[in-house]
Amino acid sequence: MPELPEVETIVADLRPHLVGRTIVRCELSFPTIVRHPEPEEFIDAVAGMQIESVGRRGKYILIRLSSDVALVVHLGMTGQLRLLDEVAPLEKHTHAVFFLDDGRQLRYRDPRRFGRLLVGSEEALLIAKKMPRLGPEPIDASWEAEQLYRELRRRRAPLKAVLLDQRAIAGVGNIYADESLHRAGLRPTRVASTVSRKSARRLHESLRESLQVAIANRGSSVDTYRDAWGEVGAQQEKLLVYGRAGEPCFTCGRPLTSVRIAGRTTVYCRRCQH
């Protein structure tokens, strides 16, 4: 599933190509991919609108339109948002096509259809419960270690579960939760409230590091993730623990352990993480 670094890569790539363009019209071949408002209203809301900015909040892509609403894209498990020439053959599982005034097309493709498209003001989407109230952005300079420590202090859940909670920290998913806990030397099963201020500081630093290194490497293509040009990222070859259960830890050589936390496969080292 695309997480913060993958979504950030797509957003940074699309931004210079989309800002200032006008969406001439939109065609939906699988209308239920639109979750808000009704598909017909969605089509009307984007048609003729100029794109003012392209941003990201957590794992959400926010394309702000001249009408003061945002076209919001959540990639779910297998969603891909690509910018293509109009003559490019339409790939299977393409559910929405946005025709741009420069002849190019922004296409949403999603084989497993867990993704969603929304249109509205961020506040309206929050109220309609189409978007969750997201926690702080972990790569923002304004997010401090003390904030993370306070969040962990009040939680009885395992550390891994807190990192996955989008209301606690926005944008972290299974890959970067495991990677940052390994970097920080913290066990994912550990009850969050038992973490010391010093350990929270280490986790804060590890989270930022894991995410920033992954952004520099254009994300992890561990499954179907592709960037806006259909290319794979490079971070999957550099992951320390994710997807490596049973393989040797790069630090101590012991086989990595796998457990399930919050319904997600979690990989860690029993010797290096406490």
198 contributes a contact to Zn ion by CB under 5 A: no
Question: Rounded to whole angstroms, how far apart are CA atoms 19 and 38?
Answer: 26
End-to-end CA distance of the chain: 27
212 φ, ψ (degrees, to nearest 5) = -70, -40
2 is catalytic: yes
- Reported in sequence order, the residue ranges of the chain that DSSP labels E, i.e. its strands, are 22-28, 34-36, 49-57, 60-65, 70-74, 80-85, 94-100, 104-109, 116-120, 257-261, 264-268
Question: Rounded to whole angstroms, how far apart are CA atoms 164 and 135?
Answer: 11
Contact assessment for residue 164 and residue 3, using Cβ atoms and an 8 Å cutoff: no
Sign for the CA dihedral angle at 53, 81, 4, 154 comes to positive
Question: Please, which residue, 229 or 250, has the CB nearer to Zn ion?
Answer: 250
Helix (H) / strand (E) element for 180: namely helix 174-184
Q: Under rule CB under 5 A, how many of the chain's residues touch Zn ion?
A: 6
Contact assessment for residue 61 and residue 81, using Cβ atoms and an 8 Å cutoff: yes
271 contributes a contact to Zn ion by CB under 5 A: yes
Of 2, 5, 138, 188, the active-site residue reads 2
Question: Rounded to whole angstroms, how far apart are CA atoms 63 and 42?
Answer: 14
Question: Please, which residue, 33 or 267, has the CB nearer to Zn ion?
Answer: 267
269 contributes a contact to Zn ion by CB under 5 A: yes
38 is catalytic: no
Sign for the CA dihedral angle at 139, 125, 66, 228 comes to positive
241 contributes a contact to Zn ion by CB under 5 A: no
181 contributes a contact to Zn ion by CB under 5 A: no
Binding window for Zn ion (CB under 5 A); candidates: 33-41, 91-99, 188-196, 242-250: 242-250
Among 249, 257, 261, 267, binds Zn ion (CB under 5 A): 249
Question: Please, which residue, 28 or 245, has the CB nearer to Zn ion?
Answer: 245
Question: Please, which residue, 150 or 271, has the CB nearer to Zn ion?
Answer: 271
Q: In angstroms, what is the minimal distance from the CB of 256 to Zn ion?
A: 8
Q: Which residue is nearest to Zn ion (CB)?
A: 249
270 contributes a contact to Zn ion by CB under 5 A: no
186 contributes a contact to Zn ion by CB under 5 A: no
Q: In angstroms, what is the minimal distance from the CB of 190 to Zn ion?
A: 16
264 is catalytic: yes
Question: Please, which residue, 228 or 249, has the CB nearer to Zn ion?
Answer: 249
Of 3, 6, 151, 179, the active-site residue reads 3
State both tokens at 49: 């609108």
- Of 256, 249, 208, 216, the closest CA to residue 235 belongs to 216
Q: In angstroms, what is the minimal distance from the CB of 210 to Zn ion?
A: 16
122 is catalytic: no
Q: In angstroms, what is the minimal distance from the CB of 208 to Zn ion?
A: 22
Q: Give the catalytic positions in this structure.
A: 2-3, 59, 264
Name the residues that contact Zn ion, by CB under 5 A.
249, 251-252, 269, 271-272
